[in-house]
Amino acid sequence: MKIDQVAVQLYTLRDFCKTSADYAATLKKVREIGYQAIQISAVGPIPEAELRSIAEGEGLVICATHEPSNVILNEPQRIVERLAALGCSYTAYPYPNGVALDDAAAVNRLATQLEASAAVLSAAGQTLCYHNHAFELYRLEGKPVLEILFDTARNLQGEPDTYWIQAGGGNPEAWCAKLKGRMPLLHLKDFAVDVAGKAYYAEIGSGNLDFKSIIATAEGSGCRWFIVEQDICPGDPFVSVKKSFDYIRANLVD
């Protein structure tokens, strides 16, 4: 993994991206930390042209986005147009809103819809990925739902989330291997526990995940972007994303 492949997911900094001015100030700080790429998610109603021009002005690549689940499924051409405006090729389906994951028909319907949307993006030279949480590792008829989705939707690619794979009882490294050739994106999110055994999100290197092995396997599977995300930070999120970046730069990049 090269340092220019390390991005930050703006969901972590969502409270500081509500307006164009806030977004610009946030990206300046992100670039000063050392990041060279961002993933756009949960930002305010800022026009694509501004999102792109501000990022380019700071020397930041928009490597990927998250887009609303219903728009991805029902209006994929809108996603194509948004990604083109942002100069970006990757997005991810963020959350299976309203899908009963214990219902085989509902899961198969979601997989079919994801496949159709992935095909639309693929025709435009873009890629639809799937961002998992823990609950997609629920076993339905003997298989994790996440595996069923990937088995059925062959154009769909992966954006595995290391924390959520671990939280769901899976192995992040094994999932990176399973998705070989199908995971351009990886969410780096550390998994820690407090003295009572309660799990919490941690800065990279502050938890229990073996990121050297995870990243090596992800590289072997063709991962293009390694995206730092921390849903909840213990204090200032800029401090957390800097702590993660500094650890990555010191310990995990080539």
**Tell me: the pLDDT tens digits for 199-216?**
999 999 999 999 999 999
| Cα gap 174→167, rounded to integer Å | 14
pLDDT at residue 55, rounded to an integer = 98
Average pLDDT over residues 51-76: 98
Look at residue 18 in the predicted model and tell me its pLDDT. Answer: 98
- Per-residue model confidence (pLDDT) at position 65: 98
Q: So what's the pLDDT on residue 181?
A: 98
Q: With left for phi above 0 and alpha for psi between -120 and 50, is residue 73 left, alpha or beta? A: alpha
3-class secondary structure, 41:
coil
Give the type of residue at 150. F
Ramachandran assignment for 38, one of left (phi > 0), alpha (psi -120 to 50 degrees), beta (any other): beta
| pLDDT value of residue 21 | 98
Rounded mean pLDDT of 74-92? 98
d(CA 231, CA 90): 21
19/40 Cα distance (integer angstroms): 14
| Phi-psi map region of 98: left, alpha, beta (phi>0 left; psi -120 to 50 alpha) | left
Residue 166 CA: distances (Å) to CA of 175, 188, 202: 10, 12, 13
The CA distance from 231 to 79, in Å, is 24
Q: pLDDT tens for residues 157-174? A: 999 999 999 999 999 999
pLDDT value at position 166?
98
- Strand-pair partners of 38: 8, 62
Summarize pLDDT for 214-254 with one digit per residue, the tens. 999 999 999 999 999 999 999 999 999 999 999 999 999 99
- pLDDT at position 116 is 98
Is the Cβ–Cβ distance between 35 and 227 less than 8 Å? no
